[in-house]
Structure 1
């Protein structure tokens, strides 16, 4: 065992199994040295840097290292080591049910923070999980030797797994433990390695489990507690698991942020909403951590900062419930928003508000509704993929959804103009210049007055102005060709001004302001410079956005209550 400050974890699986190994190793390193390890993504591997050197003396003093607990059930309780550190599954389940059934939760203890992990392990993965912990329990008297083997394994890149297995076999033979070097790869930690036809060489057809070095599987089990968030999907027994993918960040920050993030993800969600909410809530939690933590310098004091500089996002797995087993149906990566650039504490607080706005917009959609599902898909592509076209696809579909819901007296929350402005500033400064053009602002005002505002007044009994249903869809559809778009937009502007003139002749004020010739001239110049699709999509996005002063707090409260009532 040499003195090491750096360890390396290869990315061999290209699923969240790699991150689980890395987090498990960091936790063991912390148990031995107490050091705040910094992890850095180096592409093909993770580099772990400890501020304290890993020396043999620290290993020699290591004892009683039990990072994760046994899970005791009525069936296995008698077979567990008598002095084992464990949790009573049945008692934790009763406590959770008691907490969520209590109307007054002030005097009721909260559920165990790892309850969802316990539920994910029991019953399918529990036997293998227990076997790993029993192996670890048996070797405690010679723990320094085992830790040295593990740290030597990850002291160089690439990791010599075969050499570590041979070293383990010799160590096992020396002490007579009788612990096999291989253990079954559980699908909970290895989403791509379920039971089935898995032979490297196709020399026969048989169903079998995939095996791996048992100490590596034990690290994955530890890492699951440190980095995973697993929840059941609303309306089903299916499960979705999210594992943090760091870029460059320290272990203490990761633990604090994960703990606070977990508090925001207590309830079930549908699959697509899960993805969006996980990305924006983790981003918000990370920003708030840097705003409030006294032990951490604000990163934007050094340079323009992005949350994605510290955490890339999540690797996810969707498991379909099959009764007595589960099947991995989807593996994906959900990135944190890449359009957030923070240069000051004021910027940080503003982006927290904008992330709150995305959450409110997201939560209003029922994924069982086909139109809402399409909107959520586009919103996820925008939030996670930095795809401005996805945002425009969302804003082009949203008007029809908005108008339809309003006709049924349902409150719908559009994005605010502030959100659209800040988004354009973050993605492309030229697009922000389009927003600030006076002609653009005036035409967007006319669109808003003819749709959102006119429909609101209609519901209030004021039918002074006609509601232009389908205007947003028509403008987006025509924007593919500049000439067609200018014809459609000019036709709308003509009708808008004509209606204004008619109302001014027959009714009293207040009146809408009319469009000017300079407005159409400026729009034409913008189309020549940026293209009709960009201008058209931005007009619809901004025209159907709400003004900040139109924020109806009562309506927002009603929306949130409706969301809670629907589960």
Structure 2
């Protein structure tokens, strides 16, 4: 390939590994194109099936490369040698003094560790006032990445960043190597490597041909045998062309996210899976996302939180910008959040002491039911995401039932399917009232936002008068009755009712068979109305008031007729039962004025509005 043909509109990255390693190379390439253009071009990443396309508009020109000043998207990490007690850039022969005057090239791990510890100690000391006070020191924005790199991937990272740094004397030629690699399909790795070696010889430089491929950026590779033929191979580290590894480290910094699993030293790494993503939009969203992702969590809990928080960061970006064109660019008219990003590819690394083993790779999808059509929709979807984040954070993955709830919720989040949602709401319904304090509830209003995106025809069911009245009856016999019995609410009402703890599970068990479900529902209605009648009679006898504060409305014949008609029309008693339980165990937050006669009481969610998050740093 001639060097003149590398200045173009589109560049390519093959999908070679089937893992997020390909994503990392793509984001690394996008960073370099954006830097060459001095952020004056529009750089866009697009998933083209067997490869990624990174476009640059206007196309790169030769003078941009020739006149480009040195930059780097990755870093070498200065660490402390435990034996000599001296600081060094491990894996390289570069003296610290040579990079000391170049900000961002080689951050000090020990200093970043100290700053991070001081910051979190200050957060714990000042409590909730931290938002209104200036911190004594800010933690380094890449601190979590520092911890992921040191010690197991330290030499691999430093070696790649050092090779890029050594090329600063012939930086234009180094940039040409990147462009040469990505200017054709299949990617010209051999030609790019040969050109770089030749240029280095002409300038009396000694380049490295290959470096170790770290498993942190290559989750499907690592120490082991990787030959395609049945020949003997030593179980040594795998090596690759250094420039490709460098692009992965750049991509990990600018498109990756990592956290330790709560109460362990296991680690999860997430990398964006782009669909059609503008680089400038990506940087804005990334900054908001990292701000939102405070604290740690369990493995499944983190999966759910990264998807929810990333989606919220996108909504927040659109909300602040207040541009219809940006809304359409990120969400489109029907794609929802997947128009820009499919989700996040993840890898789970099990701590083995001195090293870590990759245990699992997966993709967590973004909630495709987030489909804002206009700026006014943003607040509705943000309210839904906030509610789900509160619920996910309240669950403890180390407890069997709550682990299963998180697993069901993650399935729904990735599938964005009605029945996956109902599987979660079915299981969560019984959990809500099992504790001395009500767990965070789903709300009717936010359920309807999701339903309108997942299955718009279901609005005929959920807006039915009979459906609403029966859901109200279930709510008043379960979560509302339980809420009134809590110590902080005792004495607030003139009347209290029996708590039907297993009602939701009973209805769902019977829902597989239409007749059995109707019998179970009828028995509940009979008991519910009978209890109402007894309470009214007692109140009238004792105080002369048959409608005291906190009394409930009966289920009417018309309500039963409505629900039976819906079952006849839809022919799916399980779906209707699940919807009834979901709405019945959800909160309304306010009086439902839509249907006269339903005297809903104060149903504010009984959780701490501060929604305290886990902000403890895990050492």
- Range class of TM-score, shorter chain: over 0.9
Question: 1:372 aligned to 2:402?
Answer: yes
CA contact (8 A) 1:230 1:240 kept: yes
Task: Decide which moves more: 234-243 or 389-398.
Answer: 389-398
Contact 2:257–2:271 (Cα < 8 Å) also in 1: yes
User: For 2:296 and 2:547, how far apart are their aligned partners in 1?
Assistant: 50
1:419 and 1:107 mapped to 2: Cα distance?
A: 36
1:157, CA displacement in angstroms?
A: 2.4
Matched, 1:56 2:62: yes
Asked if 2 retains the 8 angstrom alpha-carbon contact of 1:242 and 1:314, the reply is: yes
Q: Take 1:456 and 1:115, find their aligned partners in 2: how far apart are those partners?
A: 43
Out of 202-211 and 293-302, give the one that drifted further. Answer: 293-302
- Deviation digits for residues 179-225 of structure 1 (CA, Å, limit 9, x no counterpart): 23222110111011121222222222531212211110011111111
Aligned to 1:185: 213
Query: Does the 8 Å CA contact 1:185/1:217 hold for their aligned counterparts?
Result: yes
SS of corresponding position for 2:364 = strand
2:121 maps to which of 101, 113, 125: 101
The structure 1 residue matched to 2:565, chosen from 525, 539, 548, is: 525
Q: Could you say which residue in structure 1 is the equivalent of 2:497?
A: 465
Q: Pick one of 145, 150, 159 that aligns with 2:178.
A: 150
Shift of 1:153: 1.6
Query: Which residue number corresponds to residue 371 of structure 2?
Result: 341
Q: Secondary structure at the match of 2:587?
A: coil
1:282 & 1:348 partners in 2: Cα distance?
14
Q: TM-score, normalised by structure 1?
A: 0.94
Alignment of 1:452-491 (within 5 A): 452-459=479-486, 460=490, 464-491=496-523
Aligned position for 1:83: 98
Distance in 2 separating the partners of 1:403 and 1:96: 39
**Contact 2:294/2:614 (8 A) holds in 1:** no
Greater shift, 264-273 or 132-141, is seen at 132-141
Post-superposition shift, 1:107? 4.0
Q: Distance in 2 between matches of 1:447 and 1:189?
A: 51
Within-5 A mapping of 1:283-362: 283-293=311-321, 297-300=325-328, 303=333, 306-362=336-392
Alpha carbons of structure 1 residues 50 and 401: separation in structure 2 relative to 1, 3 Å: same
**The 10-residue stretch of structure 1 (348-357 or 379-388) with the greater mean CA deviation from structure 2:** 379-388
| Aligned partner (choices 5, 28, 44) of residue 9 of structure 2 | 5
Unmatched 5+ stretches in structure 2: 82-86, 100-104, 127-132, 540-545, 591-601
Distance 1:253 1:40 in 2: 14
CA RMSD of aligned residues (A): 2.2
Cα distance in 2 for residues equivalent to 1:210 and 1:319: 18
**5+ unaligned residues in a row in structure 1: which ranges?**
none
Deviation at 1:509, TM superposition (A): 2.5
Residue 264 (1) aligns with residue 302 (2): no
What is the CA-CA distance between 1:564 and the residue it aligns to?
Answer: 6.7
The worse-fitting range, judged by mean Cα deviation, of 51-60 and 307-316 is 51-60
Which stretch shows the higher mean deviation, 50-59 or 412-421?
50-59
My pick for the range that moved more, 221-230 or 379-388, is 379-388
- 1:19-418 alignment runs, 5 A limit: 19-34=23-38, 35-75=41-81, 77=88, 79-81=93-95, 82-84=97-99, 85-102=105-122, 103-104=125-126, 106-204=134-232, 206-293=234-321, 297-300=325-328, 303=333, 306-405=336-435, 409-418=436-445
Bigger shift: 255-264 or 319-328? 255-264
Contact 2:74–2:246 at 8 Å: present in 1 too?
no
Check the 8 A contact 2:120/2:616 in 1, yes or no. Answer: no
Distance 1:458 1:137 in 2: 67
* 2:611 equivalent to 1:560: yes
8 Å contact 1:290–1:297 — kept in the other structure? no
Q: Residues 383 and 446 of structure 2 are in contact (CA less than 8 Å); yes or no, is this contact kept in structure 1? A: no
Instruction: Figure out how many residues of one structure are paired with residues of the other and give that number.
Output: 563
CA contact (8 A) 1:411 1:559 kept: no
Cα distance in 1 between the residues matched to 2:200 and 2:563 = 77
Three-state SS of the structure 2 residue aligned to 1:71 is coil
Q: CA deviation at 1:279?
A: 0.6
Distance across 2 between alignment mates of 1:420 and 1:560: 20
Q: Is the 8 A contact 1:300 1:342 kept in 2?
A: no
How do residues 505-544 of structure 1 correspond to structure 2 at under 5 angstroms?
A: 505-507=537-539, 508-510=546-548, 511-530=551-570, 531-544=572-585
1:420/1:227 Cα in 2 relative to 1: closer, same or farther (>3 Å)? Answer: same
Name 2:447's counterpart in structure 1.
420
Equivalents in 1 of 2:614, 2:316: separation in Å? Answer: 25
Q: For 1:114 and 1:211, locate their aligned partners in 2 and report how far apart those are by CA, in whole Å.
A: 26
After superposition, give the CA deviation of every residue in 1:291-338 in whole Å (9 maximum; x if it has no partner): 112688442497456222111110111111100000011111011101
Of 318-327 and 174-183, the range deviating more from structure 2: 174-183
The offset of 1:241, in angstroms, is 0.8
Give TM-score, length-normalised by structure 2: 0.87
Alpha-carbon distance in 1 for matches of 2:72, 2:43:
19
Task: Tell me whether 456-465 or 183-192 shows the greater mean CA deviation.
Answer: 456-465
- Quickly say closer, same or farther: Cα 1:338–1:149, change in 2 above 3 A: same
1:401-428 CA distance string (max 9 Å, x none): 12211xxx22311100111111111111
Q: Note the C-alpha offset of 1:442.
A: 1.0
SS class of match (2:478): helix
Would you say the 8 A contact 1:121–1:129 is kept in 2?
yes
Shifted more, 77-86 versus 557-566: the winner is 557-566
| Distance of 2:459 and 2:322 partners within structure 1 | 35
